[in-house]
Structure 1
């Protein structure tokens, strides 16, 4: 039996953290629902580049759908039932799936490739200029030049 965590105190005692609380809540729910299929890797390639790789053997490009909406990346694979096959054992899990990943602010999907049964989704964190750290120059004026500026202003 899975325990549930009550996030009500977080909502009650904070303002503006709704998205964070929703991320936690969704993470706890998704972990039990996903059941580990399909397996995936998340890797950091460089400072601001990432990749998610899913093992989707048996799926064609037409059977895979990638969508980004409100900071959530959704990968869906839809396999159609093949009639007329009589399996003695079916170990290849060609079943429909849906995987969701919450993206951080300013993370964008830049592309996707399907090769050898691996779907690789490329991500890039693009921080706007207004949000980047700035170096502020210190004006090196002598005290007398500061007094002169004050006299001109007055």
Structure 2
């Protein structure tokens, strides 16, 4: 099997666990998870860190819409495997990490995980916790700006 873990549902699952661990006991909806993860990975573009965790590809902002399905799949797998708890609310579902998920996170001891956690805290600080509306507005603004720069120079 030659499938790479990079850019996969598995990779996103690991980042979601780290994110939810840092936010515990808070619960996030899928939109918050997606936006927070995206901005954390590209924190430099949002003026939060010196470097992006995933570099500076010309079309990195086009990743956001494609990630929605992957985040959905990752959350589903994490819930089914017992790493994340699904909580119904009047406005939809929210996700939080379980004890099993916390135990998995204790095994993440590498530079990438540490940098991702730093980025997550920077995003939370800038966007009032995990304000989905504000995060999406900023993602959309930078997406349009990047399309103008890349496609119409």
TM-score band w.r.t. shorter chain: under 0.3
Larger radius of gyration between Structure 1 and Structure 2: 1
Structure with larger RCO (C-alpha < 8 A, sep 6+):
2
Which structure: greater strand fraction?
1
Which structure: greater helix fraction?
2
The TM-score with structure 1 as length reference comes to: 0.24
